[in-house]
């Protein structure tokens, strides 16, 4: 089995001088290709901060993160943006769709940025929207969709470009339990059926049960790794 993410000695410190706060205190994490890893912990445990480091949205104070053989800590801003576009997919808590763009255009945006032409991008976007279960909502603005539908469109946006790794930061936080369950089922099936590598931060143990492993965190450290089901590449 090969590691798609290998992080060693990750620390993240905020502030200066006496006001320094160390959120991550030396984390080592490996994520295997096709694996579904959930990160759990109480508020302030550092789980979101860890995800931001792994997803190249933030730069660790020290440590090394290798994704797909690339030392992402060494990337400059332009390279990091390009890396995120071509390699990673994101699902945020509050869907984070562009309110002025239709569902279809939201999904098309990263595809267009990759250089796909309008028609190809639109075809890919519609397929992705169909696959996440909101078929026919292509022209709807985010404001015309329910929370669950918006999160599905956000997942479609994250997946349309076929990312190597999907990062999900508490994707059910703003959803009711039924919609939340449906989103988790969708993410789980993406992993099980299509071998999509997923790293998800969640508060809810119930939602983490579909993962291969749960990484438990407390006070900036990994306190335990729970193997739920074996992962086979």
Q: Does 173 bind other proteins (CB under 8 A)?
A: no
Contact pattern for other proteins over residues 197 through 226, marking x by CB under 8 A: ------------------------------
Segment lying near other proteins (by CB under 8 A), choices 21-29, 67-75, 93-101, 212-220: 93-101
- In the block, tokens 């335990």 appear at 224
| Alpha-carbon span 56 to 80, nearest angstrom | 7
Q: Does 101 bind other proteins (CB under 8 A)?
A: yes
Residue from 6, 13, 58, 203 in contact with other proteins (CB under 8 A): 58
Cβ nearer to other proteins, comparing 89 with 171: 89
Total of residues contacting other proteins (CB under 8 A)? 27
Contact pattern for other proteins over residues 10 through 49, marking x by CB under 8 A: ----------------------------------------
| Length of the chain counted residue by residue | 233
Footprint of other proteins on 118-147 (CB under 8 A): 141
Tell which residue, 164, 134, 143, 129, has the closest CA to residue 34. Answer: 164
Q: Please answer whether residues 35 and 5 qualify as being in contact, where contact means their C-beta atoms are separated by less than 8 angstroms.
A: no
Cβ nearer to other proteins, comparing 210 with 220: 220
Q: Which residues bind other proteins (CB under 8 A)?
A: 52, 57-58, 78, 81-82, 84-86, 88-90, 92, 96, 98-101, 105, 109-110, 112-113, 115, 141, 157-158
């Amino acid at each position: 089995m090969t590691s798609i993410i290998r992080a060693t000695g990750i620390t993240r410190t905020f502030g200066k001088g006496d006001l320094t706060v160390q959120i991550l205190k030396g984390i080592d994490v490996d994520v295997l290709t096709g694996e579904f890893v959930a990160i759990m912990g109480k508020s302030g445990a550092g789980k979101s901060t860890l995800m931001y480091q792994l997803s190249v949205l933030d730069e660790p104070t020290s440590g090394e993160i290798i994704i797909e053989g690339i030392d992402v800590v060494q990337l400059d801003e332009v390279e990091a943006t390009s890396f995120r576009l071509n390699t990673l997919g994101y699902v945020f808590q509050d869907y984070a769709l562009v309110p002025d763009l239709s569902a279809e255009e939201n999904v098309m945006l990263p595809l267009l940025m990759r250089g796909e032409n309008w028609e190809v991008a639109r075809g890919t976007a519609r397929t992705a929207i169909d696959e996440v279960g909101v078929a026919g909502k292509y022209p709807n603005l985010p404001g015309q969709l329910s929370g669950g539908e918006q999160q599905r469109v956000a997942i479609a946006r994250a997946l349309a470009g076929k990312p190597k790794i999907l990062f999900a930061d508490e994707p059910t936080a703003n959803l009711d339990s039924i919609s939340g369950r449906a989103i988790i089922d969708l993410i789980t099936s993406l992993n099980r059926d299509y071998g999509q590598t997923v790293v998800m931060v969640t508060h809810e143990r119930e939602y983490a049960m579909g993962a291969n492993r749960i990484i438990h965190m407390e006070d900036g450290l990994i306190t335990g790794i729970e193997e739920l089901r074996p992962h086979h590449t």
